[in-house]
Structure 1
């Protein structure tokens, strides 16, 4: 739908999640390294005129990119995501997910995606999510990810995230929230963006019904239609 509307879609794999070579130690991965890796990718490709669309960790990492490269981005869409601060406690559901991710013997990535979706994913879709991870030794990035959440006043990312929020609170370009009503991890997070980001005022924010955490699987076409309409309603 995005292509049909005349848009170019850029969807990079995070380091450790693609089918190419990846660092194998969990200690190789930190929140700040993910931000730095993606910032290098963004600037080397010299992208401009972008509409950022972030979901899950795409928001935690991507919003840091947006706020560090404001001239490269024209619009923001946040969907089932956030930019955490030490003053905001994660949900009980996220705490449970953190614990489970570190204790489960086999970290089945495809089944994790399926479990976070309301839709029953086809076997071939689950297999595609599992394809970059032929055995446990390839899953260091995926398994450690939940523990990288910037939690607590002493976390090294708190200062950077606080500065990023200062940029967002002065962001006058368009920002849209498109959360779902069925995500226990980020439920209610849309209100923070709507209340604190100037560019969110007057936008056609939507709460997509019937979708789980991974709305791109549950409500992909509806979500794409919302994004296309937002871009069309906010020309540069």
Structure 2
């Protein structure tokens, strides 16, 4: 497997991102993660999606660690400071899940509070379904766990098609387009930092094609198995979806209806926020997570 590694100088002096880098190795790949707060505390695991990286959580990490939590925010393989395989076939749904299982196992994370958004949920809900004993609770935001048994929304299909026809794909431009709040040019540039040129973008370009959209998708059976666990999930499960995301709109109602642990929880809609609600309302999300854990 040929792998690229973004030069460290691309990550110097990024705005509001003072965190020391941490690395571990899974299947020969170097994976970067933020690790803030007391090491002995129960972890809050923050999983990002497409085409962002742990920079997305910079507004939340300090507030969560200040509340006494250990905060772990990995960069998925192909993103951020993590290694980037160069061939599209190197990226599969199963491999993404297995790479993050490697993070959980290597760090031996237990009593996890999972916060997941976008592909962070497609991966994170699989992790919870496959290693439920490691998780104490889940907060899901603008995400879902598709099996392909139901047709995807037109909004998602439009994004999937558009993602493959971009001329000069720019991660920062995509994130900016998924926010309600205007992003400063230096923030947009920070989302582009992991990708010095197109050769580093293979994972970002492949991700939209890995979402199961038909019942016989290679990931469908494993997602159905995860759903079997989630349909019996009694641990606390909270939804915190935004009010302005056409791609995942209505997904919170599905999760609330199907997961027993969602019953009676203080589900919330984050107003004036788009798909990347961590950018739009990061401090509010951190407060919601802190209160959920305390409750």
TM-score by length of 2: 0.77
Return the offset for 1:20. Answer: 4.3
Q: Does 1:124 align with 2:186?
A: yes
Task: Select the structure with the greater relative contact order (CA < 8 A; seq sep ≥ 6).
Answer: 1
- Give the distance between the partners of 2:124 and 2:164, measured in 1 at CA: 25
Report what 2:70 is aligned to: 8
Structure 1 vs Structure 2 CA RMSD:
0.9
1:159 to 221, 230, 236: 221
Return the offset for 1:19. Answer: 2.6
Report what 1:65 is aligned to: 127
Greater alpha carbon shift after TM alignment, 209-218 vs 83-92? 83-92
Report what 2:103 is aligned to: 41
**Structure 1, unaligned runs of 5 or more:** none
Contact persistence 2:117–2:140 (CA under 8 A)? yes
2:113 to 32, 51, 63: 51
Contact persistence 2:77–2:83 (CA under 8 A)? no
The structure with the largest strand share of the pair is: 2
The structure with the largest helix share of the pair is: 1
Return the offset for 1:18. Answer: 2.3
CA deviation map 1:197-218 (0-9, x unaligned)? 1111110000111110000001
- Give the distance between the partners of 1:47 and 1:19, measured in 2 at CA: 21
2:167 to 85, 105, 126: 105
Aligned length: 233
- Give the distance between the partners of 2:255 and 2:210, measured in 1 at CA: 22
Contact persistence 2:77–2:99 (CA under 8 A)? yes
CA deviation map 1:63-119 (0-9, x unaligned)? 101111111110000000010122222211111111111011211001100001111
